[in-house]
Structures are given as structure tokens and as C-alpha cells.
Amino acid sequence: MNNHAQTYNNLIQNFGDTLQNTSKDTENNCYMTMNQITVVNFDAFKDSIVRRFGLSESPKSCDALCYINGHFFLIEFKNGQMNKSKIHEIRGKIFESLLLLTDELGVTINYTRNNLTFILVYNDLAQGRHAIASALSRKSKINDILFGLDRFERVYFKKVFTMNEGEFEIKFITKYLAD
């Protein structure tokens, strides 16, 4: 087992949770996936760092981290209307999560650029033009990265995906997590 797999297993032991639980929108009391696979609850991992260093202000973090066949996936679930404020928040979560993860793994951004995929799972109800763009990209089978997150691909992540809940079930759950 390589060092990154061992680190991931340690994170699972300390911060393991279901993908379903990491997808929970507590404000609206709903889940964005019902999948029961165990992943790292990245918010819980971040909270442990806040406690360890006695921080008065908590960094922002993505929701889940999983490791499949030597590749990491950092996942953020976002329910509701995607506006400029939410998009700005997501960008902050990306950067602060990258810092936390690279420190934990003892790697550089060069490692994440080759071994980490970022997935934003959003609820596309009332997304307007983003929903139309997503529907068109599904038809054409092109990965249209929405919300300006394409700027992170190849600089910080190997791949970046923006998927609605249905696409996430088909393109990620079925492809990577099915038995």
C-alpha cells in the first residue's frame, strides 16, 4: 500500500462517513445522493485541524474526499440557486481544501494536478442558462465546466466536473462506485 492510500485509510478511520451524509443540505434537510459508500467527511477533517491549532476562524472546505484506484476525488455538493456569492464561496473552498489536503498528504500542487479531480454536484432546478448549457453538453457528450470553474483544471486538478445530481449518479456513482 502506498503512502497516499495509507493516509487516506487513516482519514477514513478518523473522519469516515457516507457519501449521502456528506451531501446533506442541513438548511433544507435533504440529501443530494443516497449512496452509502464510505468517504472522508472533509468538513470533519477540517474541523479537527481547527481544534488542533485552536483557530478562531475556520477555513472553508469541500464536503467529501474519496480515493479510487490511486486517484483522489474532492467533491462539493451545492443545493439551491448558484449565484455569484455561492460561486465565490466554492472557489474559496477549493483553495482552502487544496491547502489542507496537500499539507496532509505532504505533496505539492504538481501532485494534485495529476492525481486529483474536483467535482461540483449542484441542484440544477432554477439554474437558468446553466441548466440549458448542462443539457446541451449532455447531448453533445462534452464536459462543459460551468460557473467559471474551468480555470482550476490542469492548473490545480487533473479534471474538473460540474454535474447535476442525475449526472453525478450516472457519471460518477455508476462509473466508479458500482460493485
Residue range 6-42, pLDDT digits in tens: 999 999 999 999 999 999 998 889 999 999 999 999 9
Tell me which of 64-73, 86-95, 164-173 is least confident: 164-173
Q: In what order do the strands lie in the sheet with 64-68?
A: 16-18, 38-41, 64-68, 71-78, 116-122, 159-164
Domain residues for the domain of 112 are: 3-177
* CA distance linking residue 12 with residue 114, whole number of Å: 22
User: Mean pLDDT, to the nearest integer, of 38-51?
Assistant: 97
Please say if the pLDDT value at position 127 is more than 80: no
The pTM score is 0.90
Instruction: Provide the 10 A C-beta neighbour count for residue 83.
Output: 10
Residue with cell 482550476: 152
Q: For the CA atoms of the chain, what is the radius of gyration? A: 16
Q: Provide the number of structural domains found in the chain.
A: 1
What the block records as the C-alpha cell of 101 is 489536503
- pLDDT reported for residue 54: 94
What the block records as the C-alpha cell of 66 is 474519496
- pLDDT reported for residue 140: 46
- pLDDT reported for residue 175: 81
- pLDDT reported for residue 1: 63
Assign 126 a pLDDT band (cuts: 50, 70, 90): very low
Ramachandran class of 148: left when φ > 0, alpha when ψ lies in -120 to 50, beta otherwise: left
